[in-house]
């Protein structure tokens, strides 16, 4: 992770400080999977950050971020969603590509578009990797769900991934609907 929290301003006159900061700030919303998408104002590169580990409770959090192009800018992370309770669904994951990684996981957040999970061990899982997840729902039938996802962001043992299929015709569909997790 390339940002520091909390952000402290260098010693400058108040006017210089505000004008520089105002030019370089961008507001970014944190979604309900605890991710934020930053766009570098210099090179327009998009970076998806996984923020589950940080437990951001404030409505607005300022961070200083350094892009891979070398440009540094300030982002204001807006936490618009209400604190959501973690789902805590147990399961396993397996990579579908050459880089063989697998293990146990706990699903922390879930919605119709994607998933946030915590792996049992820290692995070199990079964004763009396809994984097959198998997990048990906490519904009355203890339904087993098998889904394919693409990793969007990683921070330590936390991963955010999007489902490769938009429709959920298996037991996950009714579960998402019943628990009001469709977005």
**pLDDT tens string 45-103:** 998 888 888 777 788 889 898 998 988 999 999 887 665 667 889 999 999 877 788 99
pLDDT at 82: 60
Q: Which two tokens stand for residue 17?
A: 């400080």
Kindly state the helix (H) or strand (E) to which residue 16 belongs, with its residue range.
helix 14-24
The domain locations on the chain are: 3-79, 89-178
Per the prediction, the chain carries an average pLDDT of 83
What is d(CA 99, CA 26) in angstroms, rounded to the nearest whole number? 36
pLDDT at 152: 92
**pLDDT tens string 7-35:** 444 444 433 444 444 456 889 988 888 88
Residue 3 half-sphere exposure toward CB, CA atoms < 13 A: 24
Top-level class of domain 89-178: mainly beta
Kindly state the helix (H) or strand (E) to which residue 162 belongs, with its residue range.
strand 158-163
């Amino acid at each position: 992770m390339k940002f520091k929290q909390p952000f402290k301003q260098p010693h400058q006159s108040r006017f210089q400080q505000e004008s520089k900061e105002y030019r370089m700030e961008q507001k970014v919303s944190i979604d309900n999977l605890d991710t934020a998408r930053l766009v570098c104002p210099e090179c327009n590169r998009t970076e998806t950050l996984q923020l589950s580990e940080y437990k951001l409770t404030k409505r607005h959090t300022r961070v200083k971020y350094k892009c891979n192009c070398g440009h540094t800018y300030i982002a204001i992370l807006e936490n618009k969603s209400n604190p959501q309770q973690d789902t805590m669904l147990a399961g396993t994951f397996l990579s579908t590509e050459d880089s063989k990684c697998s293990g146990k996981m706990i699903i922390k957040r879930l919605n119709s578009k994607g998933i946030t999970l915590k792996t049992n061990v820290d692995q070199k899982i990079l964004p763009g990797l396809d994984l097959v997840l198998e997990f048990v729902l906490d519904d009355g039938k203890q339904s087993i769900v098998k889904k394919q996802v693409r990793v969007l962001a990683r921070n330590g043992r936390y991963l955010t991934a999007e489902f490769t299929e938009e429709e959920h015709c298996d037991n996950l569909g009714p579960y998402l609907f019943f628990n009001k997790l469709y977005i």
